[in-house]
Amino acid sequence: MALIKRFEDIRAWQEARILVGEIYKVTKQGDFARDFGLKDQIQRASVSVMTNIVEGFDDESKAEFARFLGYSRRSAVEVQSLLYAALDAGYIDQTKFNELYEQAKKTKALVGAFRHSIKKRA
């Protein structure tokens, strides 16, 4: 594994950033843009995936970093759940749901694997 010097080097953060971009794109469209509650919640959850990685990275404790990665992973799961609400409300179609769900799943898996490796080294 390459040495990580900046949070931008973390692959899980890079994928979380992609997830955020895709969530913001889809929530700007049609009825989704006018559902302020769901739009706000899914945007916050996706951003939380990124920010918790960064908050943990900036901590000097590996145990704290692992804890923040756990929060990040749970936020990715929250995004997955909220995607069902968007699908059921008709804001996204099945294809877009699948695409976003898979991006959240990929991000969650990377965060989880990174957390596991941090905990082993703690």
pLDDT tens digits, one per residue of 73-116: 999 999 999 999 999 999 999 999 999 999 999 999 999 999 99
Q: How far apart are CA 14 and CA 91, in angstroms?
A: 26
| pLDDT tier for residue 58 given thresholds of 50, 70 and 90 | confident
9-46, pLDDT tens digit by residue?
999 999 999 999 999 999 999 999 999 999 999 999 99
Residue 1 pLDDT exceeds 80? no
Amino acid in the structure at residue 38: L
Which of the pair, 26 or 3, is modelled with greater confidence?
Answer: 26
Residue 16 to residue 107: CA distance in whole angstroms: 6
CATH class of this structure's domain 10-121: mainly alpha
pLDDT at position 119 is 86
Measure the CA–CA gap between 81 and 67, rounded to whole angstroms: 21
Distance of CA 16 to the CA centre of its chain: 5
Compute the mean pLDDT over every residue in the chain, rounded to the nearest whole number: 95
